[in-house]
Amino acid sequence: MTSASQKAFPVSWDQFHRDARALAWRLHEAGPFHTIVCITRGGLVPAAVIARELEIRVVESVGIASYHDYSNQGELKLIKDIAPSIRETKGKGVLVIDDLVDTGKTLALVHTFLPEAHYAAMYAKPQGRPLVNTFITEVSQDTWIYFPWDMGLTFQPPIREGAAG
């Protein structure tokens, strides 16, 4: 998870919801979209909020695993493909949503299926940022984002206490 070279960025449910609504505001101006394709599992929660805010009723998912042990990104594995009727559109009018674009490998794979889609993420790291059209917050490449569905309430040591030298 975190090492001396990684920074922690915990996101509460309240902050995540505010960020998802902010993303919806930006996407409203970029649309219209008739379909959302969320990248599971992280894209499910922002997709639900954005689907509500933009009144999009067609929500599809694509399952791609890249983090196999919650700390190291490995080889991409397509677990669930996109519905053929959506793939046939090449992404025209489709909004692809994920919680985070890290290295960009996952979104690069989806780009091969839906090259004309609009790509959005809640959070973006520098390596993956060129693969999204819209995002809310950029964090450094060495930041580990702790999403609310991955956390319980625990003590966080002060930044100075955990800082090296």
Tell me the residue type at 56: I
Cα radius of gyration (the chain): 16
Query: Confidence class of residue 9 from pLDDT cuts 50, 70 and 90?
Result: very high
How far apart (Å, rounded) are the C-alpha atoms in residues 55 and 78? 28
E strands, the chain, are 7-10, 35-40, 58-67, 73-80, 94-101, 118-124, 134-138, 143-146
How far apart (Å, rounded) are the C-alpha atoms in residues 38 and 35? 10
User: What integer pLDDT is reported at residue 158 of this predicted model?
Assistant: 78
How far apart (Å, rounded) are the C-alpha atoms in residues 95 and 114? 10
Catalytic pick among 19, 98, 142, 150 = 98
Query: How many angstroms separate the Cα of 86 from the Cα of each of 1, 76, 95, 97, 125?
Result: 35, 21, 11, 15, 28
The tokens describing 97, both together, are 């949503």
Q: Establish whether 19 is a catalytic residue.
A: no
User: What integer pLDDT is reported at residue 140 of this predicted model?
Assistant: 96
**Residue closest to 150 by CA, chosen among 51, 8, 4, 39:** 8
Interval 149-158: pLDDT, tens: 887 776 667 7
Query: Confidence class of residue 55 from pLDDT cuts 50, 70 and 90?
Result: very high
Q: Which has more confidence, 164 or 156?
A: 156
CB 53 within 8 A of CB 24: yes
Query: Confidence class of residue 19 from pLDDT cuts 50, 70 and 90?
Result: very high
- Is the pLDDT score of 159 beyond 50? yes
- Is the pLDDT score of 1 beyond 60? no
Query: Confidence class of residue 51 from pLDDT cuts 50, 70 and 90?
Result: very high
Q: Establish whether 99 is a catalytic residue.
A: yes
CB 118 within 8 A of CB 30: yes
Catalytic pick among 14, 19, 81, 102 = 102
User: What integer pLDDT is reported at residue 2 of this predicted model?
Assistant: 44
CB 89 within 8 A of CB 64: no
Query: Confidence class of residue 134 from pLDDT cuts 50, 70 and 90?
Result: very high
Interval 78-127: pLDDT, tens: 999 999 999 999 999 999 999 999 999 999 999 999 999 999 999 999 99
Catalytic pick among 14, 19, 99, 142 = 99
Query: Confidence class of residue 34 from pLDDT cuts 50, 70 and 90?
Result: very high
Set out the domains of the chain in order of their start, with CATH numbers: 10-148 (3.40.50.2020)
